[in-house]
Chains A and B, each alone.
Chain A
Amino acid sequence: MQWIKDNTWEINQSKGLRYLGLVLSLIHIITFFQWNSLYSTPDTGTQIVCWSFFEKCKEAAFVTGNGGALYTYLGLAALSAFLFLLGPALTSRAWGLLATTFFLKLSIYLFDYRLYSNTHTLVFLVELAFLLVPNKRNLFKSLILVYFLTSGLFKLNTAWLTGFAFEPLHFAPKVNEWLAVLSLIAELTLPFFLLARKMKHIFIGVISLTIYHFLMGSFEGYFHLFIMTLLLVLFPVLNQEIHNEEQGYTFNSYLRPSPSKLWPPIGILVFLGLQALPFFLKLEWPTTPFELIRPSLPEECQQKSVAIYTSSTKILPNLLENVEQHTSCKTHIRLAALKDKCHELSQEKDFVTIYSSFVRRNFSESHFQTVFEMTDACGRTQK
């Protein structure tokens, strides 16, 4: 309890942190509109895809019902934003509402793998740090910095440097390759401007990164641009506040001592540890929802499924029509879709089982590799 009080006290003392709370609440509101459009579309709304660590998500899914969870989420986020606007007197209540909103968002997020994106990963970590970790201003700056650096380093591979991501722009392939290099350089250099002490440098960093996200918006998505702009705009505010405090720093309270300077490095280590987790566990990413998506060459995959009835066979259409490319070639998602289909077809007369095979190849491979082949995917053949 004391930990929470210390955190709310820290937020209460800083105008910049209250702005951060307001921005995080606004991000929740924007997130609501993004998710609501997904769940209100008849084709995509009910086609939930489970995370690999939560295979029974559909049995417990509450998002696809009457939308109550989403509207509750919107209501909490709006109220939280309103309380942050009202000033320091209601900060602890705003904190409570924001924390509730955070956990509600996380619950929704864990029920549907389709919501997975770098933007949400960053926002989750920033919000968690804002709610529970001391030295919030420096931690926020560190997290944003390390996010850009990690994202840039993840781009330091053949997949990204082919320039494949820029193909929709219809430039020459060599131009695409250099755009890929420039984007990498941008992500590895521009964020350092955000840490500068001079306001001019900070503005250069904020504006250049906003322009960068705007240019990358065609494939990163404009949702990402919007969220990043909201977060980047806080840098001048927070920096000015730190600058002012440093100039007038005379009193150090023993009752509430300054938060330890170790928290930002700890935050960075936690962030990097989460990104490195799949390397240590040697698992297919993402093992947790807090990992950044790594650029990869588009994989080509095919799943052929045939429903077998007692006197006929029937080719099943693509089981994952409305799932994005970067997720649709995941094995566990294919298996989950197959399981759902088995359940659906089991109601039909004369249905025996499903034969299914799944093959995949990456961009440079000429042949498909069989990932799985199941002659009795439903495990109910009667002989």
Chain B
Amino acid sequence: MYDQPSSPYRIFLIPILLIFWGFVIVTAFRANPFLFQSQTLINSITHKKIEQQHPFPKPDHHLVKIQVDHPKELPEYQYTAPDSQRWSRKLALQKVQPLNFPDLKDVKYRLTSSDMFFWSSHSSIFYARPIEIDDRTEESSSAWSFQFVESEIPRNDPLITDQFVILTTSYKRIVVLVRKTGQLLWSLTVDYDIQQSPALIEQQLLVSLYDDETQQSYLKSFDLVNGTPGTFHLELSGRLSAPLLYHSDSHSLFVATEERELLHVQTPSGDILWKHTTPSKVVTQPNLIDDQLLINTADQTTYSLKLMSPEINWDYKLKGIAQHPFIVIPSSHFVAVMTDGGYLHTIDYKTGKGVWRFNTQAKAQTSQIAAVRFSNQVIEERELKWHYKGWSIWAPCVENRICMFNPSEGNLIGRLSTAGELASMPLFSSDHKRLLILLKNAKDQIAKKAYDWGLGSYIELSQYKQELEDAQKKAEEEKAQAKAAAAQAKAAAAPTAGGPPESAPQSENRESDDP
């Protein structure tokens, strides 16, 4: 049909094609020398990277340089109690100082001697406010807030050191902020969910991560200052059931898992010194006291283990599940803990025998308790034993009350009324002249269903009720003179905050002494 003309260029076609395909083949094999081998190119070029990365990417060093100057926005705050006032059990409400806190649902807080940190699992903002409970001369920090990415929320309790605030978030992110200014030091997104609060091992941040797919937990260390991955690495099966406990003297770590395993791990090597299977999972951070480890388990029992070998010293049956680690009462062998039923237990940790137990009937948000030392005058007045140097146990009790207990006898030696429901245990100034308590705010009380908890105010308490009442009366009188008659009547009818000192209802509330 069609007579194809012969092209004069055809003679060059074959060499050109040969050169072209030669070039293609050589280039292809230079680009991938493993085509005819079982090894694959993708693995060979990522091998080193995977080794270095697995399972964590390198942190964001580049975030170290942020410089932010926050202006000081201290809340309005005045304290008028005279220095001559002394501490006693007769405490009364002196002043309620409302602060413009944002409305937060399920608010959580952390009080330190100079700052208050608060956050919520419903908000992507972490707040810090200075408090001035102490007359300290050092520079006070200023208020700041840190906003995460939208819908990113804080997870676990923050780790707060002198210099840094370490947060973990729902976006698998570790965020390290400068405590005074709130500026971002570094942040790091890790591969897995972060469970429990981070722990600090000298200058290393220890983070526990959980891989849902493999159901493995990873403990991994990072440099606190710049986020560089550390050498510590430990893999465990199952989630962690309680926060980590680091013992600096023995350079070791205690880890409890949901699989009922309690591990004693050497740092930084990660060697497991011993492993103990507990009858039930550990629910609170362990306590380490005099070479023995106290653990609270979900089966409502406290176990004491030896530090160097997992032998059980003693066990003690609690009434309810412990909500926090034990507090240690100084100058005694006593430890105390509060359980979910509101029972306050005091145990002699040397013998493992219960000293006493008390149903506080607490209805407060917090189940934290504290060990507080009274003045010599109070020891005398309340017939406390000098042997225990005035130490008492403070715990929330009944409704809007803090009860003070004699640690050796369990009798109620004092009670403190508050203007609202307790949200925290008191924070004392170093001279014990002042204290600060967080209360549930009035808004919450009105709209309990809408808001579970909120911080709307903090109050100061001072000792002499009479003085306070006098001061209040005086203030009211001054006000009454200045204002109209109707306002005067209103001011006079206002209830005196704090109320009269109440007698200790030790007999009616006391359930039983154990033993």
Binding site for B on A (CB under 8 A): 156-158, 160-164, 173-174, 176-178, 181, 184, 188, 197, 243, 247, 302, 304, 306, 308, 310-317, 355, 357, 359, 363-368, 370, 373, 375
Contact = CB atoms under 8 A, between A and B. Distances in A.
A158 B45 contact: yes
A157 B24 CA distance: 10
Nearest to A318: B149
Nearest to A184: B28
A366 B183 contact: no
A158 B35 CA distance: 12
Interface stretch (B57-65, B430-438, B454-462): B57-65
A184 B71 CA distance: 62
Nearest to B145: A312
Contacts of A160: 31
28 contacts: A156-B27, A156-B28, A158-B41, A158-B45, A164-B42, A173-B42, A174-B38, A243-B2, A247-B2, A304-B60, A304-B62, A304-B187, A308-B68, A312-B144, A313-B66, A313-B144, A315-B147, A315-B148, A317-B149, A357-B60, A357-B63, A364-B45, A366-B48, A366-B52, A370-B62, A373-B62, A375-B66, A375-B67
Contacts of B28: 156, 161, 181, 184
Interface residues of B, number: 45
Interface in B107-165: 142-150, 152
Given A306-B66, A311-B71, A355-B66, A364 B38 contact: no
Q: Which 5 A-B pairs have the closest CB atoms?
A: A314-B147, A161-B32, A173-B40, A357-B62, A366-B49
A114 B437 CA distance: 56
B31 A158 contact: yes
Given A311-B144, A367-B58, 18 more contacts: A158-B41, A162-B41, A162-B45, A177-B42, A181-B35, A184-B28, A188-B24, A302-B60, A306-B63, A312-B147, A313-B183, A317-B150, A357-B60, A363-B46, A364-B49, A366-B58, A368-B58, A375-B65
B40 A174 contact: yes
A246 to B, nearest CB: 8
Contacts of A310: 70-71
Nearest to A159: B31
A158 B34 CA distance: 11
Nearest to B169: A315
Nearest to A312: B145
Contacts of B34: 177
Contacts of A184: 24, 28
A163 B65 contact: no
B41 A161 contact: yes
A315 B184 contact: yes
A157 B58 CA distance: 28
B13 to A, nearest CB: 11
B4 A156 contact: no
Contacts of A317: 149-150
Nearest to B60: A304
Nearest to B32: A161
A177 B66 CA distance: 44
Contacts of A164: 42
B4 A197 contact: yes
A313 B146 contact: yes
B459 to A, nearest CB: 25
Contact of B24 (A156, A176, A178): A156
Interface of B: 2, 4, 24, 27-28, 31-32, 34-35, 38, 40-43, 45-46, 48-49, 52-53, 58, 60, 62-63, 65-68, 70-71, 73, 142-150, 152, 182-184, 187
A359 to B, nearest CB: 6
Contact of A315 (B43, B58, B149): B149
A176 B34 CA distance: 12
Given A164-B42, A174-B38, A315 B187 contact: yes
Contact of B32 (A162, A314, A357, A359): A162
B394 to A, nearest CB: 35
Contact of B62 (A178, A181, A359): A359
A161 B67 CA distance: 45
Nearest to A164: B42
A225 to B, nearest CB: 25
Contacts of A313: 66, 68, 144, 146-147, 182-184
B32 A158 contact: yes
Contacts of B71: 310-311
B148 to A, nearest CB: 6
A199 to B, nearest CB: 10
Contact of A365 (B49, B144, B183): B49
A177 B187 contact: no
A213 B458 CA distance: 70
Contacts of B60: 302, 304, 357, 359
Nearest to B51: A366
Given A311-B73, A312-B145, A375-B66, A178 B35 contact: yes
Contacts of A302: 60
A160 B31 CA distance: 9
Contact of A311 (B35, B66, B143): B143
Nearest to A314: B147
Nearest to B189: A302
Nearest to A357: B62
A370 B64 CA distance: 13
A45 to B, nearest CB: 20
Nearest to A359: B62
Contacts of B66: 306, 308, 313, 355, 375
Given A312-B145, A359-B62, A368-B58, A173 B43 contact: yes
A243 to B, nearest CB: 7
A311 to B, nearest CB: 5
Contacts of B67: 375
A247 B5 CA distance: 12
A161 B184 contact: no
Contacts of B187: 304, 315
Nearest to B50: A366
B184 to A, nearest CB: 6
B187 to A, nearest CB: 7
Nearest to A197: B4
